[in-house]
């Protein structure tokens, strides 16, 4: 299977697949003409990557998860630890974003949003040390 089909199969852009090979996440074979050939194994890895990235795991997390997947002597606790750290990161981001959201929507409630220049949003941004 060439890269085009692999892209169709996994939903990953060709560029992304080439990039994943570049950084050593996948290693497709090569045909005599230099084209990448994706066998069942490589395709499987791409699917794995697509899912893991879709869940927000970093590339390095993905690398580690793939290694654990290949390691039949793994401990599930290692996998769970990665997931746990990732959830903590997500929670952190969510709470930061929520705080921003609250502040902003509060300010917006007090901004007339008309053609006059007075604006509580700008006032807030411009004042205070």
Nearest one of 6, 80, 84 to 45, comparing CA atoms: 6
53 binds, among DNA, a copy of itself, none (CB under 5 to 8 A by kind): DNA
Cβ-proximal residues to 23 (8 Å cutoff; 6+ apart), any chain? 59
Q: Are 14 and 2 contacting, i.e. CB atoms less than 8 angstroms apart?
A: no
Q: Is 13 in the site for DNA (CB under 7 A)?
A: yes
Residues 50-79 binding a copy of itself (CB under 8 A) are 51-52, 55-56, 65, 68-69, 71-77, 79
91 binds, among DNA, a copy of itself, none (CB under 5 to 8 A by kind): a copy of itself
Q: Is 32 in the site for DNA (CB under 7 A)?
A: yes
Instruction: Identify the residue among 10, 26, 36, 42 touching DNA (CB under 7 A).
Output: 36
Compare residues 37 and 55 and give the one whose CB is closer to a copy of itself: 55
Binding mask 92-111 toward a copy of itself (x if CB under 8 A, else -) reads: -xx--xx-xx-xxx-xx--x
Q: Is 58 in the site for DNA (CB under 7 A)?
A: yes
Nearest one of 85, 70, 62 to 16, comparing CA atoms: 62
Q: Is 16 in the site for DNA (CB under 7 A)?
A: yes
């Amino acid at each position: 299977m060439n890269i085009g089909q692999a892209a169709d199969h996994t939903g990953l852009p060709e560029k992304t697949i080439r990039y994943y090979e570049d950084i050593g996440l996948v290693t497709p074979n090569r045909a005599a003409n230099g084209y990448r050939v994706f066998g069942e194994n490589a395709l499987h890895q791409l699917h794995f990557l697509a899912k893991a990235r879709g869940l927000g795991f970093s590339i390095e997390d993905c690398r580690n998860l793939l290694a654990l997947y290949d390691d039949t002597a793994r401990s599930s606790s290692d996998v769970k630890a990665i997931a746990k750290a990732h959830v903590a990161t997500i929670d952190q981001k969510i709470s930061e974003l929520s705080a921003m959201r609250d502040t902003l929507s509060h300010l917006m409630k007090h901004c007339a949003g008309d053609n006059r220049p007075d604006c509580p949003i700008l006032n807030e941004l411009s004042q205070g040390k």
